């Protein structure tokens, strides 16, 4: 019994992390129309910056926003210096440019932080929550809380603010929104910067659980991407549901079938979804952009 509960709790915890990354993929995909393979690297970057700051004695509450800001600035720079000049290139080339960005960021991190692991303290001290012999560290609640908070914030931003409606307008019809005075270039900068910041938040909030290394972005990025695809790639709520679902399925499959094949499960799920419902489990067809 305690096993099943633990599988569920661990699955939800992992799913929260995937969801956070997935939301970043969705944001960039919606506005720039490309899959940003550097998404996981932003998580890594944020986590390492935060860990370094804390190691240098900066209090956690200051280190976190600082690290998010540094990562967001890196994202903004990337968008302006690399993606914007390539705006006229084909999707394929732009996607591969994001692969280049991810390799470059990883290399930069390796140079600065070496291959060592870095830790962050839990955001709040205290005993883990134990239910029926299963346990969930408090930090996992932070992960879920941050995921939920980001979801709500994104919902409010997109659905309830003027700027958010401009961003959505730009996704729906870039040319018509230009006629309103909305600059697609500014929106693209905003979206990329925001997704870098989202990535950084994800990286920072998981570091107390998973520790931070220069190559943590690879798996994080891939799993987050799968979660985003499960959710249809265009919808942030879909991404969150996709992330949670992925985490739970992975956890149960690893527990009951084979722990060695744990990572394969996410991708098998991806193949299954592509076979059955290529537009994702939760996507509304009408909102589908090009995949």
Number of residues that bind other proteins (CB under 8 A): 98
**CB under 8 A: which stretch of 56-64, 147-155, 236-244, 249-257 binds other proteins?**
249-257
Q: List the interface residues with other proteins, window 72-111 (CB under 8 A).
A: 82, 85-86, 88-93, 95-97, 99-108, 110-111
Q: List the interface residues with other proteins, window 146-185 (CB under 8 A).
A: 162, 165-166, 168-169, 172-173, 175-183
Residues 6+ apart with CB under 8 A from 242: 18, 19, 22, 226, 227, 228, 229, 230, 231, 232, 280, 281, 282
Task: Retrieve residue 24's tokens.
Answer: 């970043």
Chosen residue from 56, 59, 61, 114 binding other proteins by CB under 8 A: 114
- The interface mask with other proteins, positions 207-246, x = CB under 8 A, is --xxx-xxxx-xx--x--xx--x-----------------
Spatial contact of 231 and 280, defined as CB atoms under 8 Å apart: yes
In this structure, the chain runs to a length of 291
Which residue blocks in 130-183 are alpha helix, DSSP H? Answer: 138-155, 162-172, 174-179
Chosen residue from 149, 152, 258, 277 binding other proteins by CB under 8 A: 258
Residue 57: left if φ>0, alpha if ψ -120 to 50, beta else—which one? Answer: left
| Contact call for residue 60 and other proteins (CB under 8 A) | no
| Contact call for residue 59 and other proteins (CB under 8 A) | no
Chosen residue from 44, 244, 254, 283 binding other proteins by CB under 8 A: 254
Q: Which is nearer to other proteins, 12 or 197 (CB)?
A: 12
CA distances, 85 to each of 77, 98, 105 (Å): 12, 13, 19
Chosen residue from 73, 77, 121, 149 binding other proteins by CB under 8 A: 121
């Amino acid at each position: 019994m305690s096993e099943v509960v633990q599988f569920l709790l661990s699955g939800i915890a992992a799913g929260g992390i995937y969801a956070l990354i997935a939301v970043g993929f969705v944001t960039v995909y919606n506005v720039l129309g490309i899959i940003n393979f550097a998404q996981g690297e932003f998580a890594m970057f944020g986590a390492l910056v935060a860990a370094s700051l804390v190691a240098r004695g900066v209090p956690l509450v200051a280190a976190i926003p600082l690290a998010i800001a540094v990562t967001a600035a890196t994202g903004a720079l990337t968008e302006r210096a690399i993606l914007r000049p390539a705006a006229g290139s084909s999707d394929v080339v732009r996607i591969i440019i994001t692969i280049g960005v991810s390799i470059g960021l990883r290399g930069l991190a390796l140079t600065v932080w070496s291959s060592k692991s870095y830790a962050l303290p839990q955001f709040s001290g205290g005993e883990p929550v134990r239910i029926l012999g299963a346990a969930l560290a408090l930090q996992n609640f932070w992960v879920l809380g941050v995921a939920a908070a980001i979801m709500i914030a994104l919902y409010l931003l997109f659905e309830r603010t003027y700027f958010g409606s401009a961003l959505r307008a730009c996704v729906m019809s870039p040319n018509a929104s230009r006629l309103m005075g909305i600059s697609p270039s500014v929106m693209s900068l905003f979206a990329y910067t925001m997704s870098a910041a989202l990535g950084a938040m994800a990286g920072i909030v998981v570091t107390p659980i998973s520790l931070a290394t220069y190559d943590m972005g690879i798996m994080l990025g891939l799993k987050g991407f799968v979660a985003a695809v499960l959710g249809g790639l265009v919808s942030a709520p879909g991404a969150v549901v996709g992330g949670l679902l992925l985490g739970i399925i992975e956890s149960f499959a690893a527990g009951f079938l084979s722990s060695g094949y744990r990572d394969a499960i996410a991708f098998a799920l991806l193949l299954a979804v592509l076979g059955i419902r290529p537009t994702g489990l939760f996507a509304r067809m009408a909102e589908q952009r090009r995949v």
